[in-house]
A and B are shown apart, each in its own frame.
Chain A
Amino acid sequence: MSAQTRQMIGSLLVAAIIVAVTIIAVTSKLGPTSAAELEQREDRAKERQEQREERLEEREDSGGEGG
């Protein structure tokens, strides 16, 4: 492998590293503001709310039967 080929491969690797670092830096900065993450959070909150309501209904039902 000639010196120039090595240099070109090296400089292309630097470019690839720049791309990777930029993607990591920007996505970490964006973080939980992404729409997908917000949607997931909303879904989880909705699920928790439904479970809470179900438990409350069950408790009311069993309380009504007992009293």
Chain B
Amino acid sequence: MEGLFRGNVTEVKVVLASVALALACYQLVLAAVGYRKLRPRFLEPRPAFRTHRASGDTIAVVIVLVAVLCVSYFEIEDDAAFHAVTGAALIAVLGLKVVVIRWWHAASRFLPALGITVFVLLAATWASTAGAFLS
């Protein structure tokens, strides 16, 4: 892994996690347009939701990649317990959201709550390592 990233595993992880968080902020705006909480003239709900889905797929891939880097390269230390817990919860809630979107349509009414939970967990996980690394 270290050879692949030329010894910059932490830096690559920080960049990827920051990209995921930035896109997640954009996801909130797109969801607000999709649910008609925001009504800009230049974007209708349908294309907003389509972009929300495409961007969400990208975020999911990035999060899984960062999680793989975390588990395979870094050891779990005592002071990283918060990061480990929020990260694991993020993967679990994200997985549940994907299941609801793809197969469990009866639970669709929970999607906004699941989306906000994913955002909060992602922000907390990012802040506990990447945020500290950048500050």
Q: Enumerate chain A interface residues (CB-CB to B < 8 A).
A: 3-5, 7-8, 10-12, 14-15, 18-19, 21-23, 25-27, 29-30, 33-36, 39
Known: A15-B23, A26-B14. A34 touches B8 (CB 8 A): yes
Taking the nearest CB of chain A, how far is it from the CB of B99, in angstroms?
24
B73 lies within 8 A of chain A by Cβ: no
Closest to B40 in A: A7
Q: How many residues of chain B are within 8 Å of chain A by beta carbon?
A: 24
Rounded to whole angstroms, the CA-CA distance of A47 and B42 in the bound complex is 58
Q: Which residue of B lies closest to A22 (CB)?
A: B22
Complex contacts, B30 vs chain A, CB 8 Å: 11
Q: Does B55 contact A (CB under 8 A)?
A: yes
A39-B7 CB under 8 A given contacts A11-B30, A18-B22, A19-B22:
yes
CB contacts (< 8 Å) of B19 on chain A: these are 19, 22-23, 26
Contact residues in B for A8 (Cβ distance below 8 Å): 47, 50-51
Q: For the complex formed, measure the closest distance between the CB of B82 and the CB atoms of chain A, giving whole angstroms.
A: 22
- State the majority secondary structure of interface residues on A: helix
A35 to B134, CA, bound (A): 15
A39 to B15 CA separation, bound complex (whole angstroms): 20
How distant is A64 from chain B, measured CB to nearest CB, in Å?
43
Interface of B toward A, CB cutoff 8 Å: 6-8, 11, 14-15, 18-19, 22-23, 26, 30, 42-44, 46-48, 50-51, 54-55, 58, 134
CB distance from A14 to the nearest CB of B (A): 7
Which of A3, A12, A26 is close to B134, meaning CB atoms less than 8 Å apart?
A: A26
25 contacts between A and B (CB under 8 A): A3-B44, A7-B47, A10-B42, A11-B43, A11-B47, A11-B51, A12-B54, A12-B55, A14-B26, A15-B26, A15-B54, A15-B55, A15-B58, A19-B22, A21-B22, A22-B18, A22-B22, A26-B14, A26-B19, A27-B11, A27-B15, A29-B134, A30-B15, A36-B6, A39-B7
